[in-house]
Chains A and B, each alone.
Chain A
Amino acid sequence: MTYRDRSVMVTLEAREARVQRPNWAPAEVDLDRPSAARVYDFYLGGLHNFAVDREMAARAVADWPELPAIMQANRAFLRRAVRHLAAQGIDQFLDIGSGIPTVGNVHEVAQAALGDARVVYVDIDPIAVAHARALLEDDANTGVVQADFVDVGAVLEDPVTRSLLDFSRPVGLLVVALLHFVGDERRPAEALARYREAMAPGSHLVLSHASADGAPDRADEHRSLYRRTATPMTMRSRDEVAALLDGFTLVEPGIVFLPQWRPDDPVPPANPERFTGYAAVGRRD
C-alpha cells in the first residue's frame, strides 16, 4: 500500500469526525451535551434547561433518588453561609462556579441581609454567564465574569472583578459545589492558595464538595454520567476536602455534611449522611 492509499483511508475517517474548530478557537456553545449548570438548575426546580439536561437529570435521579434533595441541601447551605458571612460584616462576594442564576442567588441573599452587597459571579459555562449577564444587567452592584476557576489571574484581574471588589477588605470567596468539577491534575489547591494570598485577613472561604464517602456505589455511576458533560466529576473524601481548606481557619462546626452546617432548624436533620456532600467555611486570618 502506498502512502497515498493510506492517506485516503485516514482522510475518510477524519471526515466522519467532522472537524469543527481548531484548538485556538474559543469554547463552543454546545447544546448537544448536558451542562452541569443547567442540570443543577433543573434539580432546584428551575426551568432554565433543555431536554438533554433533563434527560440526564432523570437518569441520575432514577439511580439516586436523593439527588434533588442533596442539591437543594447544597443550595440551602449556600444561603446559610452567605447570611453567616453577611452577619460578620462581609459585604462583597466572589462566587466562582455560580451556575445559572436561579433561585436564592447570592446577591439576593446578601442584599436582603445588607442592602448594598457587591457580588461578582464567575462561571466557565458560556450560557450560564450569558444568562447571568442578562439577568443582572441593571444591578450595578453585581457583575459577571466568564473564566476558569484555576485561571486565578483571569478571575482576579478581570475589569469587572477589579471594579466591584476591594481586596484590601474582607471578601467572601464562594466555591460551592464547584471543586468536584476540578480534577487534581488542574491543581485546585494551588489555585485556592493563590486566591487566599489575594484576600485580606478576615476574608472567608465558603466551600461545599460532592463526596462518595456516604454512597460509594452511587457516586461511581454518578461520576460516569458527568463524563458526558464538559465538566466531569471528581469526588473527594473528607481528608481531601480538608486538604483543600489548608491555610484557612475552620469556622464552627468545621467540615460537616451539608444540612449539618449551622442548620436553621434547631432540630437536626435525620440521616445527614444521606446528603453525601461536605460543607465548610474557613476564615483567612
Chain B
Amino acid sequence: MTEPGRASGADPLDALAADWAEEVEGTSYVPMAAEELRAHLRDLARLVVDAVQADPPRPEVGAEIGRRLVAAHFTGPATLERTVVLLSERLPALYGPGLRETVPALTGALAAGYAETLRDRTLGEQEAIRRAVLAARQHTENALHASEARFRAMFREAAIGIGLGDMEGRILEVNPALCRMFGYTPEEFTQRSVVQQMHPDDAPSVWERYERMIHGDLENFRVEKRFYRADGSSMVVHLTLSLVRDERGEPAYQVAMLEDVSERHRLQEHLAFLAYHDPLTTLANRARITERLGKVFAEAGGSSTRRVGVCFLDLDGFKTINDSLGHHVGDLMLQEVARRLDACAGEGELVARMGGDEFVVLVEDSHGVDRLVALADRILAVLASPFHLVGQELVVTASIGVVEQAVAETTASELMRAADITLYTAKAEGRGRWAVHDPGRDETETTRFSLSAALPSAVAHDEFFVLYQPLVSLADHRVRGVEALVRWRHPRLGVLSPSLFIGPAEETGVIVPLGRRVLETACRDARGWHAEFGAGAPFVSVNVAPRQLHEPGLVAEVAALLDTTGLPADRLQVELTERALTIDEGAPLKALDGLRAMGVKIAVDDFGTGYSNLSYLRKLPVDVIKLDGSFGEGLREEELSDEVDERIVGTLVALGHALDLTVTAEGVETAAQASRLRALGCDEGQGWLFAPAVPAGEVAALLRRGRPLGGPATGLRRSG
C-alpha cells in the first residue's frame, strides 16, 4: 500500500492526485493518456479536499466523486477499493488528523455514489446490448424473411418440379409444377414417400445411388427414370436429387428437381427407331447391325474369348420375282421373309435387312459355328414353305453365307466381308444352301472362288466394259493403235482389273464368251474411229486367250465381225501371250494363220517373260512383239541407265527387226525411257507417259486434238 509522506514537501493536492493516479492505474481501462489521467484525478482530489476542509465539512460530496469515477470508466472493482483505502490513509496524513471523522463519511458516500452509478450504468449497458440483440434479431429475421420470400416465389413459380423430402424419404413439400406433372394435389403428395416413386424399369443403380446419398456419401446425382403419374400412366423424368446438410454437416433434407422429358424421350426413341430400322419390314437395318457389331468388338478387348457369328442371306432369283410380278409383290415377299426370319431367330439373335433382298442374322456370343449352322438350317426351313401372295403361291430359296469367329481374330468389317464372300460361295455352289466361311482358306482364293462363281452371271448381266490404252510411235509420239483392256464393274467390289478375273475366267471357260464380247466391242469402237479419222485411225489390239484359239469358230467369228462392223482387217491386231504360242498344237496355229490371212496382225504380249524358244518365233505367224515392261525399268532414270537392260533390250529389238517384226515397248513411264527405247530401236511404246487406259470416247478426243502424247519425242541424251 501507500507509504505515507512520500509526496511530502510538495503541494499536498498534487501529492494526493499523484498517489491516486498511481494506485488506480491499470485497475480499469480509461481512454486517457497518463497525463490526462493525472489531470482528471487532480480535479477529483480538489473536490475531495474542498469537501473535507469546508465548514461544516460536506462528506456527501463523496457520492459525486463516486459518480464521476464511473463516468470516466473507472469501472474495475479494484479501483473503488484502492480509492477508499487511499483517501482514508492519505487525507488525514496530508491534511491533519482532524479529518478522521469526516473521511469515513466521505468514503462511505463515495462508495454509495459509485455503486449506484455503476448499477445504473450496468443496467443501461445491459439494456443497450439487449436492445442490440433484439435489433440484430429483427434485422436477421427481416433478411431471412426477404430471402425466404424470394425462395418461396422461386419455388412456386419454377417451371421445373421441385420437391423437398426428409431423410426418411417422406415428401414434405412440393411445388405446383411438380403437382401438375404428377397430377397429385400437394396433400396427396405429402402422403407419399420417395420410395413409392420406384418404377419397375428403374436401373438398380438409381436406388443404389439414392441409398448412398441418404448416407451422405453422395452429394447429389442425376438420372433419367420413369415415374408413374396419379392416373397410372408413365412418364420419363430427368431427376436431380441433392442432399441438404444441417449446420453440423449431417444429411438433413433431400431436394428433388424433376423435369418431364417424356416428349423428348419419345422423339428420341422414334428417331433412334428410324435410324436403326428398316421401314419396309420393321426389322433392324444395316446401321443397327453396324452399331451392334461395333459394340461387340469394342466391348471385347484383344484378349477376349468372345465369339460372334452372322448368317448373311439373300433370296435366289428375287430380281425375277420383282421384275415379273412387280415391286408390290416383291415388297410383300420381303415382308413375309422378314416375318419368318424374325420368328425363327432366338435369344441373342438379331435379324436385320441390309437392303434389297439381303438379310443378316447376327448372333452375339455364338460359342461355335454349330449354332450358326443350325440357324442357317432353320432359316432355309422356314423359307421352304411356299409364300401365298396376292392369290399366288410362290416358292423362293435363299443362299446363306455363314461366318463364325472369335472377336479377337477379326474386325466387324472383316466379318461382314467374309460373310458376303461366303454368300457368293453358297450361290456358286448351287443356291438354296448355306456355305461356311473357312478362315483357313486364303482370302484371295476365297475371293477368286467367289469371283469365278460370279463370272457367268456377270457376263450375262454385261458387267464388263472396255478401256483403251494408246500405243504410240516412238518416233513422233503419235497414236498408232490402242490396246483394248477389259474391266469388270463388280456390283459389290467395284471396278476390278483383269489380273483378278482373267485367270478364273480362263479356268471356268467364261473367257470364251467374255473374249467374244470384248472383241465385238473393240471392233465396233475401232470402226467408229475409222469412220472419223480414216487412214489416221488407230488399230485396235485385242487380247485373245489360248482357250479362245482352241474354239473352232474363232476365225469365222472374227471374219463375220469385221464384216458386220466394216472395220478393215489391218485395223485389228490380236495379242497373245508367249505361253499361248509355245503350245505346240495344231488348232491354235491354224487359227492364227487364218487370222493373218485375213490381214489381222498378230502380236506377242509380254515378250521375254515366258520360256521362249526363239527359233519358234521365226516359224510363227507373228507381226509384233511387245517387250514386257520389266525390261524397260532400268531405263527410266533420267541420268542413270542400266547397261545390262539396255543391252538386252537392244538384242531383243535387233532380233525382232531381224525377223521383220514391229517392236513395242510396254510400261513406258518417263521421257528419258522413251528416248532410250527409241534410240535402241523400239518402234512403238505404251505406258503412263503417253496415256492411261481411257474410255473409247476419250480416244476419239485424243485423236481429234492430234497432239503428240507424253511430250514431243526427244533425242537421246546419253549420260556419262
Contact = CB atoms under 8 A, between A and B. Distances in A.
Interface of A: 3-4, 6-8, 10-11, 13-14, 17-22, 24-29, 31, 38, 43-50, 68-69, 71-72, 75-76, 79-80, 100, 103-104, 108-109, 126-131, 133-135, 264-265
30 contacts: A4-B169, A6-B211, A7-B169, A10-B167, A10-B251, A11-B168, A14-B246, A17-B250, A21-B247, A25-B144, A25-B147, A28-B140, A29-B133, A45-B73, A45-B75, A48-B129, A48-B132, A50-B129, A71-B29, A75-B29, A103-B30, A103-B31, A103-B73, A109-B31, A127-B129, A127-B133, A130-B133, A131-B132, A133-B135, A134-B131
Contact of B214 (A10, A48, A100): A10
Contacts of B128: 48, 131, 134-135
Contacts of B29: 43-45, 68, 71-72, 75-76, 103-104
A21 B129 contact: no
B125 A21 contact: no
Contacts of A75: 29, 31
B126 interface: yes
B272 interface: no
Contacts of A72: 26, 29
Contact of A7 (B140, B214, B247): B214
B121 interface: yes
Contacts of A11: 166-168
B140 A126 contact: yes
Contacts of B151: 24
B327 interface: no
A265 to B, nearest CB: 5
Interface in B12-58: 26, 28-31, 33-35
Contacts of B34: 264-265
B395 interface: no
Contacts of B131: 130-131, 134
Nearest to B252: A19
A264 B35 contact: yes
Nearest to A31: B133
B253 interface: yes
Interface of B: 26, 28-31, 33-35, 73, 75-76, 121-122, 125-126, 128-129, 131-137, 139-140, 143-144, 147-148, 151, 166-169, 195, 207, 210-211, 214-216, 244, 246-248, 250-253
Contacts of A24: 147, 151
Closest 5 pairs (CB-CB, A-B) = A104-B31, A131-B132, A264-B33, A47-B125, A130-B135
Nearest to A45: B75
A14 B252 contact: yes
A134 to B, nearest CB: 6
A29 B136 contact: yes
A17 B166 contact: no
B248 A17 contact: yes
B677 to A, nearest CB: 85
Contact of B140 (A18, A20, A29, A47): A29
Nearest to B168: A11
Contacts of A27: 140
B126 to A, nearest CB: 6
A101 to B, nearest CB: 9
A45 B76 contact: yes
B252 A127 contact: no
B144 A14 contact: no
A3 B210 CA distance: 8
**Secondary structure call for the A interface:** helix
B219 to A, nearest CB: 13
A26 B33 contact: no
Given A10-B215, A130-B132, A17 B73 contact: no
Nearest to A27: B140
A3 B208 CA distance: 8
Contacts of B26: 69, 72
A133 B215 CA distance: 45
Contact of A29 (B73, B75, B137): B137
B132 A17 contact: no
A79 B133 contact: no
Contacts of B140: 26-29, 126
A38 B246 CA distance: 27
Contact of A130 (B139, B167, B250): B139
Contacts of A21: 144, 247
Contacts of A50: 129
A127 B136 contact: yes
Nearest to A38: B129
A46 B135 contact: no
A17 B246 contact: yes
A75 B252 CA distance: 44
B525 to A, nearest CB: 83
B214 A6 contact: yes
A21 B148 CA distance: 11
Nearest to A48: B129
B247 to A, nearest CB: 6
B214 A130 contact: no
Contacts of B207: 3
B129 A49 contact: yes
Contacts of A265: 33-34
A46 B248 CA distance: 33
Given A17-B250, A48-B132, A130-B134, 7 more contacts: A6-B215, A10-B216, A19-B246, A29-B140, A104-B29, A109-B31, A131-B129
B195 A4 contact: yes
A127 to B, nearest CB: 5
A171 B139 CA distance: 29
Contacts of B168: 7-8, 11
Nearest to B126: A47
A166 to B, nearest CB: 27
Contacts of A19: 246-247, 252-253
Contacts of B73: 45, 103-104
Contacts of B147: 24-26
A4 B135 CA distance: 44
A69 B26 CA distance: 7
B126 A130 contact: no
Nearest to B247: A20
A29 B144 CA distance: 12
A18 B246 CA distance: 8
Contacts of B33: 80, 264-265
